[in-house]
Structure 1
Amino acid sequence: MERNTGYHTRQKSMIYQYILDNRQRHITATDIASYLLAEGTPVGIATIYRYLDKLVEQGEVRKYTMDEKSSACYQFVEQHGACALHFHLKCVRCGKLIHTDCGYLQEIDKHILEHHGFHVDHSKTVFYGICQDCSRAEEEK
């Protein structure tokens, strides 16, 4: 289960498993705390952040900080590291963070490198707007 996370506790195992089970999406420390509480194993938010920081330091989890107002998001790092290769979209209404695997954006990335000599950090590159679900909900009103 855990690769190299030091002292092993039931709470750490549950946090790690939650991250693995949700590896296809970005999660917050609050998401983890809510899950653990619902499972009958409440863990302090500071403990969760310390463990997340350790996982980030070990390269098992990637941390996304969007802005000063939003909580950081975390995601399990798959072995192939594909998340470092694409841009992200953030909905300003619901807060959803979306991975984009898009040839057009890859061309923009290539253009920026070739014509401007600039390497884009995809873990920090986010386009802000309104997601499809929120747009639909607005149209239905």
Structure 2
Amino acid sequence: MISQKAKYALRALVSLARAGRGETRMIGEISREQAIPKKFLEQILLELKRAGLVASRRGRSGGYELLRPAEQITFGEVLRLIDGPIAPLPCLSIIAYRRCEDCRDEAECEIRHVFERVTLATRAVLDRTSLADSLRLEDLPV
């Protein structure tokens, strides 16, 4: 399950993708449109800015904008940034691997084998689905 913070981050990024490359959106606009508490959105956008996904501009035409094309930002990238590894078991994590405490032999673990298939399929979909894809619901990769 993804966190509420990750869901809000994805909503904010999709909103910026919908605005178009080089166009800015004010925090208040995104907050109202996506039903995200403004203070929480400010924290999320700051984290996305530090990660190099968005930029902010001050002034009359200020606000937030995507730094890369929406086609180059995937759901997998955003989820890893906000929530960490995409793995239901610590022994399946690529970036935070940890052996399960109660496991005798990973090679023989039936639970691990099933969840490994689920994890690989999930990662594949998330890593090939971009913000731009999400705007075209009928074209989402399977």
> Could you say which structure has the greater relative contact order, defined with CA pairs below 8 angstroms and 6 or more residues apart?
2
In terms of fraction of residues, the more strand-rich structure is 1
TM more than 0.5? no
Q: TM-score range by the shorter chain?
A: 0.3 to 0.5
TM-score, structure 2 as length reference = 0.40
In terms of fraction of residues, the more helix-rich structure is 2
